[in-house]
Amino acid sequence: MDWSLILGIIITIITAFTVGMFYGGISRKVTARIQNRVGPPIWQNFLDVLKLYSKESAIHHGWMQHLGPLWAITASTATLMFVPILNNGQFYENLNFSGDLIFLIYMMVLGQLGMALGAGQTGNPNSAIGVSRGLSQMVGYKVPWLLALVAIMIQFKVTSITGILELQNEIGWLMFASPFAFIAGLLAFIGMMHYAPFDIVFAPSELASGPPSEFGGKYLGLMMTSGAIFTFAKLVLFVDIFLGGASNILELLLKTFVIYMIPVLYGIVSPRYRTEQSIRYFWGWPTFFGVIGMLYAWYMIA
Amino acid sequence: MSEHIKEKETLEAITTAFEKVNGVVQRDKRIIVRTEAETIPGVLLYAKERLKYNHFSHMSCVDWIEDKQFELVYILWSPEDKIQLIIKCRINRENPIMQNIDNIWRQANTYEREIREMYGIEFEGLVGAKEFILEDWEDMPPMRRDFDTKEYSNDHFFDRPGREDAKDVRTEITERSGEEIPDFAKKYTRD
Amino acid sequence: MNINPKIDKKDSLTISEYIKNFARKHSLFVLAYGTGCGAIEIPPTMTSRYDAERFGIRGAATPRQADVLLITGYLATKTLKRVIRVYEQMQDPKYVIGFGSCTINGGMYWDSYNTINSLDKYIPVDVFINGCMPRPEAVISGFVKLQEYIQEGKADGWLKYQNNIEEYRANQKRVIKNWRMPDYNW
Ligand code: SF4
């Protein structure tokens, strides 16, 4: 038994959880400051999760409802395992070499699917609306996201993330080597973070928080944990692909924080879209840039 | 404009078209018409179709317990002339039955259902004549004036002690302004 | 009918209880049941001027996620039914704040045929905030009081409700005559 593997998994998860939680707290603080409030302390999300885990949970709607949050957290930790945290293998390797971008694209959908199934069984109409909105929105932002990734795969003939990281050691950040794909990817990424104006899935005022509306106590705690881990995984993946990864933790935090602040700041000043507006947005400029990125890639290899 | 030409014309039109209708121009842009219960649909329809009072503002009920009567009040509004037309009729309090007017204005249905529940007036052929606002109500219709709401509250809800030092300020106020407390209100005292 | 708490009080808290109470105290998800006029004081309490979020108080969207049920004023017999359903759907531990004099003794609707007079006969109330209507400062001070109680382990209305369910049910059924309610497995 390889103990360092297990140690690596544990440390990776703890890092992801902590960073994701702190980022959530910082975003709440930033929102508060922009609204001229004092705001909660930045460790507020830890207290929330701790409290949620300390609650009793007596909700039963069927076994899929119990499995939904577990499925979500499994999917987000699994995604995390395949993303290299630092480049050149300086962090624990976990399962970095086993997967590639195409696999990750599937993996990132899995968590949402689990949530959708779990929320579907609660029988709450708000959950059902939230799920249908979430899946339609996913169809929206997956198009530019896939176009961006496929453009990179075509241009550099590489599908593994470690391969992309090594490539960037030689030619610099992909953000400059493949700028149109970067723009498309960034715009799609804003949607993936589910901050306003793309928070149509969890809209608290109109949908009563959507899919999690029947989940309280420990289930909600699990969902928050999974959300924090998944946020971190997504951020690191984005940094790995476009921003050349990071060679130490500080650099990683800096880069991920900058990327994280884009959707947060954009969200604070935006109202919420409707579902079809959101989809139309993603099929507009982001998809356009994605297509340009493909043409650019084709031009570069020709 | 103190002649109220338009108002007088309207009143004239109504009183000539129907018997047993009398009315006054109460003030600028307000006409009050009193009639019998049977002529109510006719007057309303006439006002709506001929005189262009096509906005049904409100419908309410007054309990004249001393006269053993209920008074139904229909308030119409003419967007063209900007005049309010108030039509009143009285019905017997013992066995209150009234004609239904929700085929003239659909929205009258809501008012009729509320009045049915709060005063116990039956409307003939009312759609949805069942429980409306009050849930599981078993007592007398609560807006009738012989319904004692304080007693009901004492019977059904839990009072918390501590209101004993509350005063009835109405005596002070009436003394100060030289008015009198009306008879029906005298039973609602704090002692 | 009197509701007597049948709970054996412990003198000191264990470490794990202390940590739990600390987290519970600093993270209150509030479900505002805003049918009374006092609900108008909730937006200023939550937004920039008074900013309740600095105490960790934040709105919850559904009863399942909420810790605190904030009842803002008078309750008609009809809304009481919904309040009971909401309260029973909440997850333990849960707290109730009665807001405004209407929840305490009926307020200005004390003799109304349709509004209940003392809320704590139907569901357990941990903190009352008096005033008609209380200002946001008073609301925040009520929350701070609740936080103190939670830290000391004294906010045990939910235990009271579980232990005295028959008496509470009897009181509730006195008002809600036609009892067609689902059972929640809390
Ligand atoms: S206490 Fe006063 S403000 Fe609050 S609900 Fe009652 S009447 Fe309204």
Candidate from C83, C105, C108 with most ligand 1 atoms within 8 A of CB, to mutate: C108
Mean pLDDT value of segment A95-116: 80
Residue A63: the pLDDT is 82
C35 CA to centre of ligand 1 in angstroms: 10
Q: Do chains C and A touch (3 or more CB pairs under 8 A)?
A: yes
Read off the amino acid at residue B52.
K
Cα(A75)–Cα(A69) distance, integer angstroms: 10
| Chain-chain contact of B157 with C176 (C-beta, under 8 angstroms) | no
Instruction: Return the half-sphere exposure (C-beta side, CA atoms, 13 A cut-off) of residue A27.
Output: 24
Inter-residue contact A252 to A107 (CB < 8 Å): no
Instruction: Render pLDDT for A176-189 as a digit per residue (tens, 0 to 9).
Output: 888 888 899 999 98
- Picking from A40, A60, A207, the nearest residue to C53 by CB comes out as A40
Hey, whose CA ends up nearest to atom 8 of ligand 1? C37
B191 in C contact zone (CB under 8 Å)? no
Over the stretch C102-149, which tens digit does the pLDDT of each residue have? 888 888 888 888 888 888 889 999 999 988 888 899 999 999 999 999
Range B12-18 contact pairs with CB under 8 angstroms and sequence separation of 24 or more? B13/B50, B13/B51, B14/B43, B14/B46, B14/B47, B14/B51, B17/B46, B17/B50, B18/B42, B18/B43, B18/B46
Q: Does C114 touch chain A (CB under 8 A)?
A: no
**What pLDDT, on a 0 to 100 scale, did the predictor assign at position A276?**
86
Instruction: Check residue C122 and give left, alpha or beta (phi > 0: left; psi -120 to 50: alpha).
Output: alpha
Average pLDDT score over chain A: 86
Residue in chain C nearest A61 by alpha carbon: C185
Q: In this complex, which chains have at least 3 CB pairs below 8 Å with chain B? A: C
Tell me how far apart the alpha carbons of residues A125 and A119 are, in angstroms, rounded to a whole number.
10
Are A28 and C53 within 8 A, CB to CB?
yes
**Residue A98 pLDDT class (50, 70, 90 cuts):** low
Chains that touch A (3 or more CB pairs under 8 A): C
Residue B141 CA to chain centroid, in angstroms?
15
| Whether the Cβ atoms of residue A212 and residue A57 lie closer than 8 Å to each other | no
If we measure between CA atoms, which residue out of C121, C102, C123 comes closest to residue C112? C102
Walk me through the domains of chain C, giving residue ranges and CATH numbers. Answer: 27-175 (3.40.50.12280)
pLDDT in tens, A141-150: 889 999 998 8
Question: Max CA-CA distance within chain C?
Answer: 49
C73 in ligand 1 pocket by Cβ < 6 Å? yes
Closest CA in chain A for residue C90: A216
Q: What average pLDDT is seen over chain B?
A: 86
If you take atom 2 of ligand 1, which residue's CA is the nearest one? C132
Interface of A with C (CB under 8 A): 28, 32, 35-40, 44, 47-48, 50-51, 54-60, 126, 204-205, 207-209, 212-217, 220
Q: Do chains A and B touch (3 or more CB pairs under 8 A)?
A: no
Contacts of C173 in chain B (CB under 8 A): none
pLDDT in tens, C144-182: 999 999 888 888 888 888 888 889 888 888 888 888 777
Between the CA of C101 and the centroid of ligand 1 the distance, in Å, is: 6
Mean pLDDT for the stretch of residues A33-39: 89
Q: Is the predicted pLDDT of residue B86 greater than 90, yes or no? A: yes
Distance of CA C130 from the midpoint of ligand 1 (Å): 10
Whether C61 contacts chain A with CB within 8 A? yes
SS3 B3: coil
Asked if C105 lies within 8 A of B153 by C-beta distance, the reply is no
Q: In the block, which residue shows the tokens 């356009």? A: A288
Distance of CA C178 to CAs A27, A122, A284, B142, C173, Å?
48, 27, 55, 19, 8
Please choose from C133, C135, C139 the residue to mutate so as to test ligand 1's pocket, defined by most ligand atoms within 8 A of CB. Answer: C133
Q: Identify the pLDDT of residue B179.
A: 82
Strand partners, C64: none
Measured from the CA of C108, which atom of ligand 1 is nearest?
7
Query: Taking Cα atoms as reference points, which of C75, C97, C90 lies closest to residue C141?
Result: C97
Domains of chain B, earliest start first: 5-133 (3.30.460.80), 148-191 (no CATH)
DSSP class per residue in A81-99: HHS-SSGGG-S--TTTTT-
Query: What is the DSSP annotation of chain C?
Result: -------PPPSS--HHHHHHHHHHHH-EEEEEE--SGGGGGHHHHHSTTT-GGGGTEEE-SSGGG-SEEEEES--BHHHHHHHHHHHHHSPSS-EEEEESHHHHH-GGGTT-SSB-S-GGGTS--SEEE-SSSPPHHHHHHHHHHHHHHHHHT---HHHHHHHTHHHHHHHHHHH--S---PPP--
Is pLDDT above 60 for C9? Answer: no
Distance CA A113, CA A71 (A): 9
C133 lines ligand 1 (CB under 6 A): yes
Q: Which of A182, A184, A201, A204 is nearest to A193 (CA)?
A: A201
Main-chain dihedrals φ then ψ at residue B62, nearest 5 degrees: -125, 135
Residue nearest to atom 6 of ligand 1 (CA): C102
Q: Which of A214-218, A236-240, B66-70, C126-130 has the lowest mean pLDDT?
A: A214-218
- Please give, rounded to a whole number of angstroms, the shortest distance from the CA of A256 to a CA of chain C: 26
CB contact under 8 A, C59 and A50: no
Q: Structural domain boundaries of chain A? A: 3-301
**Has residue B100 got a pLDDT over 70?**
yes
Task: Tell me what the mean pLDDT of segment A100-114 comes to.
Answer: 84
**Cβ separation of B135 and C81 shorter than 8 Å?**
yes
Q: Which residues contact B144 (CB under 8 A, 6 or more apart)?
A: B63, B65, B119, B120
Shortest alpha-carbon distance between residue A196 and chain C (Å): 17
Closest CA relative to residue C131, chosen from C108, C110, C162, C159:
C108
Q: Examine residue A197 and say whether the peptide bond preceding it is cis (omega within 30 degrees of 0).
A: yes
% of chain B with per-residue pLDDT over 70: 96
pLDDT(C1) > 50: no
